[in-house]
Each structure stands twice: as C-alpha cells, then as structure tokens.
C-alpha cells in the first residue's frame, strides 16, 4: 500500500513515518493488514532523508492545488493530513492560516473525491476547536465553539472530513489532539509551545519562560502516544467510528503547577528554578480558551492508547531524547 503524510518533515510527520517503517503494515480498507510499499512525505521544507527505500520525499506547497494533485494518485490508499499553520502563526497571519488550514485541506479532499478510490484520511485536529464558555469537563458531545482562527480552521475541516465521508468520497477519521508535551527540539509557533519548553529547557540546563499562570490547566499527551493514536485511529474499522468521525484523544489533565512538580520529582528541586514566570497576554488569550479537562468516553470505548502519568512522560523524554542523562540533578 501507498501512504501519504502531509507535513512529513514536521515533528509528528517524521515520527509517524519512522513508526510506520518499523511496523511495515497498516490496515487496508478491507480491514486486513497490508504491507506498506511506499511512504510519500510532502512538506514545504526539505526534511532530513530517511535511509529506507520505501520513503519518497516531495518538497512543495500544499496550498498550490496543482502541486498537491501531483502527490496523490489512485494508488494512495491512506493519507495522514498533518500539514498545518499552527496556532500562534494562524492567529498572526489570518490569510496564511485560511490558505493552508482550510483551502489546501479542501483541495486535498477534492482530489480524493475526483480519483474515486475512497482512501482513508486521518486528519489531525485539535482541542482548540473548543472554546468560550465551556463546562469544567468537556464531553464528546460538547458543542465546538472555537475562539481562535486556528481552532475555527480545524473545525471547518472536521466538518468537511465528516461530510466527504458521509458522501462516500473518503473514509475519514478526525483525531482531536491534546497539546503534545514533551516535544523535543526548539520552540515552535504554536501558542502551546511553552508546555514543552518549561520541561525540556530546564532539563537541558537552559532557562525557560512560562507565559501563563501556575493554575492554568492543560490537556496533554506524549509524543509517543500521539503517534500510536494516529496509527490506531487509522486502523479502526470504519463502522466502529459510526456516523460521527470525530474523536477527542485521551490526555492527562494537569495544571502548570502539577507539571512543574512532576519535573521536580524527576530531576530535583534546583531544576525548576530555571523556569521564569512572565505573563504573555497574547498566549494567555489563546491558551485559556482551550479545555483543560475532557471526558473522552468515545476514545476509551474504541480502545485508544493513553499515557499513565506525566512523570513517566518526562522520564520517557529523558530516556529517548537525552540518552537517559541524569547530570541535570
């Protein structure tokens, strides 16, 4: 089978590709394991090459419909649509967010429709589709009322994926991702970037700025579990999803204070002195509209994976990204 990953040079795209190469199979539309023969990674930036013949890297702008058309064909069985303008940037550049998050997604779905082969499409949405006057615990049935351009753009595409599925043009699956932490690498343009920086930078001996107050509650998922979830969401039988193709992924609900306490338990009290508290109203305005706690009954019933606790997530980061280093203590 042939798999396409948009945003293939990004944080999740590269990790997903590596995991798929390791697994070697995905469930086809007939629900049987199919061998992955090719993974096409599409991104506007050139990612580092993979030393595996099954990977093809295509560099270009998915906002260009002709370019996008050249990346998908009737043999493209599965698409993980991860390319996006992330929250902070979509808020700062409204036109770019609309062009990539909405227009390019619509083109992608239209190409699938025109080819007529009904591929599986896994769309990475976000809990940013929720916002406004939310209940203390958001349910699968809570109305989506996004309070950011990013959240609105994700919400629009969620509806498209559901309708293109209903019409039989694709077999769509929408996964609403929590904030990912601990994300390795450098800070990015997501408003939630600090949720990783406040753990990652102190562990690297660097200072980090926390732009929101310690009682801010976040809905978090580890990089490892989100990759497992994308694959799990792809492989679930279409009927199991039912008519509503959206699912809120299970996460951990923690205040910043609880995250910092977990860091302290893993790496000692001196480490948390590397966090500076400096409120940033631009970030607070976005992040405080997102839900900090969800009841993910549908995901549990479907059997989606989950993280056990945040301390283990930090330990996993130390093991995988810092080679188990403990000289930060």
Ligand X SMILES: NC(=O)c1ccc[n+]([C@@H]2O[C@H](COP(=O)([O-])OP(=O)(O)OC[C@H]3O[C@@H](n4cnc5c(N)ncnc54)[C@H](O)[C@@H]3O)[C@@H](O)[C@H]2O)c1
Residues serving a catalytic function are: 150
Q: Which 75-94 positions form the footprint of ligand X (CB under 6 A)?
A: 82-86
Minimum distance from residue 168 beta carbon to ligand X (Å) = 25
Q: Are 35 and 52 in contact (CB under 8 A)?
A: no
Cβ-based neighbour number of residue 148 at 10 Å: 23
Q: Is 9 a binder of ligand X (CB under 6 A)?
A: yes
Q: Is 179 a binder of ligand X (CB under 6 A)?
A: yes
Which listed residue (1, 20, 100, 254) binds ligand X by CB under 6 A?
A: 100
Q: Is 126 a binder of ligand X (CB under 6 A)?
A: yes
Q: Is 58 helix (H, G, I), strand (E, B) or coil?
A: strand
Of 7, 285, 296, 293, give the one whose Cα is nearest residue 150. Answer: 285
Which listed residue (1, 3, 10, 222) binds ligand X by CB under 6 A?
A: 10
Cβ-based neighbour number of residue 136 at 10 Å: 8
Judged by beta carbon, residue 61 or residue 235, the one nearer ligand X is 61
Of 296, 229, 283, give the one whose Cα is nearest residue 256. Answer: 283
Judged by beta carbon, residue 169 or residue 290, the one nearer ligand X is 290
Q: Is 12 a binder of ligand X (CB under 6 A)?
A: yes
Count, residues near ligand X per rule CB under 6 A: 26
Minimum distance from residue 18 beta carbon to ligand X (Å) = 13
Minimum distance from residue 305 beta carbon to ligand X (Å) = 16
Q: Which 190-209 positions form the footprint of ligand X (CB under 6 A)?
A: 190, 192
Stretch that binds ligand X, among 7-15, 18-26, 29-37, 248-256 (CB under 6 A): 7-15
Which listed residue (17, 26, 36, 62) binds ligand X by CB under 6 A?
A: 62
Question: How would DSSP label each residue in 84-135?
Answer: ---HHHHHH-HHHHIIIIIIIHHHHHHHHHHHTS--EEEEEEEGGG--SS--
Cis peptide preceding 73, ω within 30 of 0:
no
Q: Is 177 a binder of ligand X (CB under 6 A)?
A: yes
Distance between CA 226 and CA 276 in Å, rounded?
28
Which listed residue (63, 97, 151, 172) binds ligand X by CB under 6 A?
A: 63
Q: Which residue has the tokens 């979830």?
A: 229
Distance between CA 255 and CA 263 in Å, rounded?
13
Q: How do strand 294-295 and strand 138-139 relate by DSSP bridges?
A: parallel
- The binding site for ligand X (CB under 6 A) comprises 7, 9-13, 43-45, 61-63, 82-86, 100, 124, 126, 177, 179-180, 188, 190, 192
């Amino acid at each position: 089978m042939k798999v396409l990953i948009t945003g293939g040079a990004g944080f999740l795209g590269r990790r997903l590709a590596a995991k798929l190469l390791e697994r070697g199979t995905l469930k086809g539309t007939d629900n049987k394991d199919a061998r992955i023969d090719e993974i096409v990674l599409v991104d506007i930036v050139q990612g580092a090459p993979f030393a595996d013949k099954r990977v093809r890297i295509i560099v270009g702008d998915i906002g260009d419909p002709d370019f996008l058309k050249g990346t998908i064909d009737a043999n493209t069985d599965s698409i993980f649509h991860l390319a996006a303008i992330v929250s902070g940037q979509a808020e700062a550049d409204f036109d770019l967010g609309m062009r990539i998050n909405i227009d390019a997604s619509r083109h992608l779905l239209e190409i699938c429709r025109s080819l007529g082969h009904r591929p599986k499409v896994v769309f990475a949405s976000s809990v940013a589709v929720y916002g406004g006057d939310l209940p203390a615990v958001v349910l699968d049935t809570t109305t989506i009322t996004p309070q950011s351009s990013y959240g609105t753009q994700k919400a629009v595409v969620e509806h498209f994926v559901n309708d293109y599925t209903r019409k039989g043009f694709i077999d769509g699956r929408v996964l609403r991702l929590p904030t990912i932490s601990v994300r390795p690498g450098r800070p990015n343009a997501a408003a939630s970037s600090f949720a990783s920086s406040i753990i990652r930078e102190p562990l690297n001996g660097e200072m980090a700025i926390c732009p929101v107050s310690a009682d801010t509650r976040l809905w978090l998922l580890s990089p490892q579990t989100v990759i497992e979830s994308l694959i799990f969401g792809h492989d679930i039988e279409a009927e199991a999803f039912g008519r509503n193709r959206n699912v809120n992924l299970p996460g951990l609900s923690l205040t910043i204070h609880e995250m910092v306490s977990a860091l302290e338990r893993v790496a000692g009290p001196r480490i948390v002195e590397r966090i500076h508290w400096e409120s940033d109203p631009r970030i607070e305005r976005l992040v405080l509209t997102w839900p900090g706690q969800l009841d993910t009954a549908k995901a549990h019933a479907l059997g989606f994976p989950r993280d056990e606790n945040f301390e283990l997530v930090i330990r996993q980061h130390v093991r995988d990204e810092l080679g188990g280093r403990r000289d930060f203590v």
